[in-house]
Amino acid sequence: MKDFFNKLLTGMSLGIVVCLIPNALVGEILKLMIQHFPTIAPFLQTILNVTLIAMSLLPVVIGVMIGIQFKLTPIQMTSVGLATMVGSGVITFSETGMTMAGIGVVINIGITAGLVVVFVQFLGNKLKDYTLLLMPALSLFIPGLIGLFILPYVKSGADVVGLGIATLTNLQPVLMGMLIAMIFSILIISPISTIGVATVIMLSGVSAGAANLGVCASGVGMAIASYRANNFGTALAHVASAKIQMRNFFMKPKIASPTILTAAILGALAGVFNITGDPYSAGFGLAGFVGPLKYLSIEQWSTTSMFLAATLFIILPIVLNLLFIRLFERKVKWIAPEDYKVTYE
């Protein structure tokens, strides 16, 4: 079971990074350029749309990545990808037709993919000459539909997390900021979508700013901590999506200790300096510079706000994470660089 979940989480982590990084790198920059360069706006919008397509294909890519981890055959692998898409929640139907948007419910994507892997492994070579004909269809109609049926219940369970976080918004700003930042620093390395939680409860104001700083703390911290165990490109990818460490976090939760403490300090400072955001920016952190750009747009790009954005979103996350990583690695001896190793095979 440990090996099964290890492979499942590894596939999910890699799939998330592959699909989300293009938009994380250029999404917000393209949106700004579209506003200020109308002559090339249609071309820039096309590029932006391409990254959105990649995001919505997340369930398929996760399914294929998981299939690679389990060393499935090409037919089994693509069957996992197709059936995972069915249970993802990315696609909705109405009287006007089919709509594909968002990334779906990540938890249910993982559950559905796990069910399909077990199913195709059970079938194995039993279908013989009819494998190509029947395996994709049976995967869609049995585990795929199971994933679709349980989707509303799994989504409701994830929404409960959001409602719990919503109760924190009534606390004193510094305490609220600290707690929300710590929670979001953990959510960003879990299967739960930080963006989904933020939009469900319409997180705004200081609570949204604190959420962004919590995500930022994890992204920067995981990038620094993983640098010695991975190449520079892989380490840098953590800033865009810290979910790349999802498998390692579930196997060794203590690897998040430095980032959680960093998030606590940054979240408290969000309450002190009134770092704000809105429901649609909360949960992005430094990915595409969504968090700092939203804060700056709210504060009208003043000298003070630019200084605070640079300090709280970039400088302090680096300094605090370096301090706590050194503490937990050399003094407490809770973590080691190898704990952050990302495996592609």
Q: What's the pLDDT score for residue 345?
A: 57
162, part of any domain: no
280, part of any domain: yes
192/113 same-domain check: no
Length of the chain in terms of residues written = 345
User: Which residues, given as ranges, of the chain have pLDDT below 70?
Assistant: 344-345
60, part of any domain: yes
Q: What is the CA radius of gyration of the chain?
A: 21
The tokens describing 321, both together, are: 């994470």
Q: How far apart are CA 90 and CA 101, in angstroms?
A: 6
In the three-class reduction of DSSP (H, G, I as helix; E, B as strand; rest coil), residue 92 is classed as: strand
Q: What's the pLDDT score for residue 6?
A: 85
182/120 same-domain check: no
185/121 same-domain check: no
E-only strand ranges, 79-214: 91-94, 97-100
237/335 same-domain check: yes
pLDDT in tens, 172-191: 889 999 999 999 999 989 88
182/105 same-domain check: no
Q: What's the pLDDT score for residue 32?
A: 79
The set of residues, in sequence order, having a beta carbon less than 8 Å from that of 243 and lying 6+ positions away, is 12, 13, 16, 17, 20, 188, 189, 190
Give the CA angle between residues 9, 108, 338 to the nearest 5°: 15
Contact call for residues 287 and 244 (beta carbons, < 8 A): no
311, part of any domain: yes
234/296 same-domain check: yes
End position of a domain, from candidates 155, 179, 209:
155
* HSE toward the beta carbon, residue 27, CA cutoff 13 A: 22
At residue 221, φ and ψ (nearest 5 deg) are: -65, -45
How many structural domains compose the chain? 2
Q: What's the pLDDT score for residue 234?
A: 83
DSSP state of 193: -
Q: What's the pLDDT score for residue 49?
A: 92
111/44 same-domain check: yes
6/68 same-domain check: yes
Q: What's the pLDDT score for residue 344?
A: 64
The set of residues, in sequence order, having a beta carbon less than 8 Å from that of 342 and lying 6+ positions away, is 13, 226, 229, 230, 234, 244, 245, 248
CA distances from 24 to 20, 43, 242, 289 (A): 6, 18, 12, 8
253/139 same-domain check: no
The tokens describing 84, both together, are: 């995972």
128/209 same-domain check: no
Provide the residue type at 215 as one letter: V
Q: What's the pLDDT score for residue 165?
A: 80
End position of a domain, from candidates 131, 155, 179:
155
In the three-class reduction of DSSP (H, G, I as helix; E, B as strand; rest coil), residue 90 is classed as: coil
CA distances from 65 to 15, 146, 147, 185 (A): 6, 21, 18, 25
Q: How far apart are CA 211 and CA 237, in angstroms?
A: 20
End position of a domain, from candidates 89, 121, 155:
155
Q: How far apart are CA 168 and CA 207, in angstroms?
A: 9
116/187 same-domain check: no
Expressed as residue numbers, the domain containing 17 is 2-155
